[in-house]
Amino acid sequence: MGYVGARTPRREDARLLTGKGRYVGNVRLPGMAYAVVVRSPVAHGRLLGCDAKAAWTVEGVLDVITPADAADLVLPCVSLAPGQRLLSYRVLDDTIRYAGQPIAVVVAETPAAAQDAAGLLDLELDQFPATVGAERALEADAPLLYPDWGTNLVTDFPLGDADCADFVEAAEHVVEMTFRMGRISPHPIEPRGVVAAYADDELTVHISSQAPHHVREHLADAFGLTHDQVRVISRDTGGGFGGKEHVYPDEALVCLAAMRLGRPVSWTESPGDRLSATLPARAAVHRARLALDGDGRFVALYADILGDLGAHPSNVGISPFAVSGTLLPGPYRFERVGVRVRGVVTNTTPTGSYRGFGQPECTWTRERLIDEAARRLGLDPVELRLRNMLEPDELPYPNRVYQPYDSGDYPRALRTLRDLVTPVTGVDDGRRRGIGYSCHVETTGLGPSMDLKATGIQAGGYETAVLRMEQDASVVVSSGVVAIGQGIETALAQIAADRVGVPIERVRVVLGDTAATPYSSIGSIASRSLAVGGGALVRAAARLRDKLLAIAAHRLEAAPGDLEIAEESVRVKGDPRASVPLRELATSAWRAWDLPEGVTPGLEERVSYDPSAYTFAYGAHAAAVAVDPETGAVEVERYWVVNDAGTLVNPSLVEDQIRGGVAQSIGMALTEEIVHTDEGQPLAEYFLPTTREVPDIEIVLLETPSPVTPGGMKGVGEAGTIGPPAAIGNAVAAAVPELAGRLTDVPLTPEVVWRCRYP
């Protein structure tokens, strides 16, 4: 009916813009109590005692939970790296390994009483020296977080070509640089929050989550409940960006409090806790070398990736750093690519998922090396890229680090971008101006279940869609993916309406409730909701449509191939008078009236889709910047994106995802970083980009369907975040070329740029 490809308005917006959003903060249950999580003020040490006598004097206090009350409560490390020693971690631990680690929970009748009582807990702490920074963690005298290991190293493994170093050494030109990426924090509009209730041997958890089924199974296992005893509800999640894809220790503790009290307990993360409680990301050091021959052809690319895991491997462990390795080649042709991946523990908050998941980091490294090579060899950076870029007829193409690129035209994206870019002219304000480019290939559609098993991820990568036509011919879609602001409710409704042949107003989408949706092991992460969840729906819709046509063919005494669905009827092509209303067909199907032989009653299809491979979107980005050479301040004046995410179900949603991702990643490029003192204390200053830092963003969409996904979709949720740091960094290098070789660290704060000039 033409819904796929249309700029259909988001159906979610009506309730979100009128104050009817279904957020955790709106949940009110009878008898609800309130929790405050008490966090460690030190980064390394031991909790020797937690005296709650004074806390119990506060009127309304209901419970105080300390490590002794939760000694056996643990959560799993979901993604396991080769040789990883730690497979789970305690929810409350008396060994302190980061500032902000939960050490107690206070529950009271009111939020104020809980806060007052929490401040009265008498904590006896033995403080130890802290280890801060991945490179510091490997030094011989660094304090050990786990002394029985004898090291802070968690894992060390190679990827790619074992003989890559030989090709680098033999090359005519080699560019070698060390890059550092600051630790950054997801900042969704809706903070993390939980309302937990335990009654009749069932734990019901309202939570702001990207993966409610994931939360359900981990809570059930932690508390020794059967999975059917736990119901998790996550309705309108107000953004996640990777930070809400699993259950946190503090969230599990709220559930424990509800089970101990026998009444609902509510908790919301405070703004002051976010930098130390919500998992940050990036935090990596890349020592990299790009080798070229005399004609400017890429020979080899090597990177030694050192990732900071924080206090312990989290739900994703080393995975973001491994993804940096597997996507290191980008859209280019190399004879050899080699990667060494190492992860260390430090006395900082455990690192986890963040939008882009290792891909902005490897793009920063590769694209900065390419621009530096162009500068040293006197070549145009765009032409150098085009000279080495994979051509469309080379796809599908397995890159040198195991990634099977599926489809696309990478040179077309870059040429299209080059034609868009126009420099800022006519301004003489003393600042230096430059334009920078970056290109990337993005892994989307996580992923084949057996691939996840092979890489140590303790989850399946399939999605299931349940599609039902009711007796009145309305349609209900149920999926395990979750709405996190990306417009998936609208996109799934478009697919269902288009493929079944009903008006979109007749389609309802059910998401986010483990009691009402099919199982999804990992939910809405990794740019997979539409590629995998939508792929399952495409197949379910085909089955439902075929059944409708079979029933109608029996009624109309026609062949199914001679029928079409139009105007809420099934009719003979070319003869609209020979038709039967959809409502009449649906009623007959559910009542089992007049069905052809072999056709079962009802109109409901359940399809699980486990992709055969990942899908690979791609993009080219350009930034125009102005740099104040005296202060180091950088302003992004204009920004351009060309992106290909396969079949575009809703171009408006795609543009919105890209625009938001670019704005977010400008923060990574210029302002955002969690900085710790030597004692492991996170500093309070954290600067998100505002409308002043985000310029107009011009977007051009290409469309190369994926041969992998039913429907041809690829993911786009992270596309906007991958290219900006490299594009902006290359633009700064173009503006101040005398500093180019020293522009290696993000964020490029004024201080960082200034120190490049005055080291």
Q: How far apart are CA 525 and CA 352, in angstroms?
A: 12
Q: What is the pLDDT of residue 622?
A: 98
* Cis geometry, peptide bond prior to residue 747 (ω within 30 degrees of 0): yes
**In this predicted model, what pLDDT tens digit does every residue of 121-139 receive, in sequence order?**
999 999 999 999 999 999 9
Q: How far apart are CA 116 and CA 392, in angstroms?
A: 64
**In this predicted model, what pLDDT tens digit does every residue of 275-305 receive, in sequence order?**
999 999 999 999 999 999 999 999 999 999 9
- Asked if residue 758 has pLDDT above 90, the reply is no
Please report which confidence band the pLDDT of residue 50 belongs to, taking 50, 70 and 90 as the band edges. Answer: very high
Q: What is the pLDDT of residue 284?
A: 98
Distances (CA, A) of 462 to 230, 447, 450, 490: 22, 7, 10, 21
Secondary-structure percent of the chain, ordered helix, strand, coil, rounded to 5: 30, 25, 40
Q: How far apart are CA 512 and CA 481, in angstroms?
A: 7
Please report which confidence band the pLDDT of residue 14 belongs to, taking 50, 70 and 90 as the band edges. Answer: very high
- Asked if residue 1 has pLDDT above 90, the reply is no
With 0-12 / 13-18 / 19 or more C-beta atoms within 10 angstroms meaning exposed / middle / buried, residue 583 is middle
**In this predicted model, what pLDDT tens digit does every residue of 405-461 receive, in sequence order?**
999 999 999 999 999 999 989 899 999 999 999 999 999 999 899 999 999 999 999
With CA atoms as reference, report the closest residue to 323 among 184, 149, 525. Answer: 525
Cα torsion 269, 270, 276, 279 to 10°: value is 30
Angle subtended at Cα 136 by Cα 134 and Cα 138, rounded to the nearest 5 degrees: 80
Is residue 51 a contact partner of residue 234, using CB atoms and an 8 Å limit?
A: no
Average pLDDT, rounded, for the chain:
97
Pairing of strands 122-127, 45-51: antiparallel
Is residue 646 a contact partner of residue 617, using CB atoms and an 8 Å limit?
A: yes
Is residue 360 a contact partner of residue 182, using CB atoms and an 8 Å limit?
A: no
Structure tokens belonging to residue 337: 């690519």
Q: How far apart are CA 717 and CA 703, in angstroms?
A: 16
Q: What is the pLDDT of residue 576?
A: 85
- Asked if residue 757 has pLDDT above 90, the reply is no
For 675-713, give one letter per residue: b (16+ CB within 10 A) or e.
ebeeebbbeeebeebeeebbbebbbbbbebbbebbbbbb
The DSSP call for residue 271 is: G
Structure tokens belonging to residue 630: 């005296």
- Asked if residue 684 has pLDDT above 90, the reply is no
Q: Is the dihedral of CA 202, 206, 207, 212 positive or negative?
A: positive
Angle subtended at Cα 132 by Cα 127 and Cα 138, rounded to the nearest 5 degrees: 110
Residues forming CATH 3.30.365.10 domain(s) in the chain: 281-448+612-757, 462-609
Q: How far apart are CA 345 and CA 350, in angstroms?
A: 8
The structural architecture, per CATH, of the domain 16-128+188-240+244-277 is: Alpha-Beta Complex (3.90)
Structure tokens belonging to residue 671: 């302002």
Structure tokens belonging to residue 34: 């309130």
Report the SS3 class of residue 667: helix
From the options 3.40.50.1360, 2.60.40.10, 3.40.50.2020, 3.30.365.10, give the CATH code of 462-609: 3.30.365.10
For 128-148, give one letter per residue: b (16+ CB within 10 A) or e.
bebbbbbebbeeeebbebbee
Topology adopted by domain 281-448+612-757: Aldehyde Oxidoreductase; domain 4 (3.30.365)
With CA atoms as reference, report the closest residue to 137 among 352, 345, 349, 351. Answer: 345
With 0-12 / 13-18 / 19 or more C-beta atoms within 10 angstroms meaning exposed / middle / buried, residue 404 is middle
Share of the chain above pLDDT 90, in %: 97
Q: How far apart are CA 133 and CA 676, in angstroms?
A: 9
**In this predicted model, what pLDDT tens digit does every residue of 712-742 receive, in sequence order?**
999 999 999 999 999 999 999 999 999 999 9
Q: What is the pLDDT of residue 648?
A: 98
- Asked if residue 649 has pLDDT above 70, the reply is yes
Q: How far apart are CA 401 and CA 403, in angstroms?
A: 6
Q: If you search the block for the tokens 């039902």, which residue do you land on?
A: 468
**In this predicted model, what pLDDT tens digit does every residue of 571-618 receive, in sequence order?**
999 998 899 999 999 999 999 999 999 999 999 999 999 999 999 999
Q: What is the pLDDT of residue 178?
A: 98
Which residues contact residue 170 at a Cβ distance below 8 angstroms, ignoring those fewer than 6 apart? none
Which amino acid, one-letter code, is at 103? I
**Displacement of CA 712 from its chain's centroid (Å):** 21
**What are 45's strand-pairing partners?**
96, 127
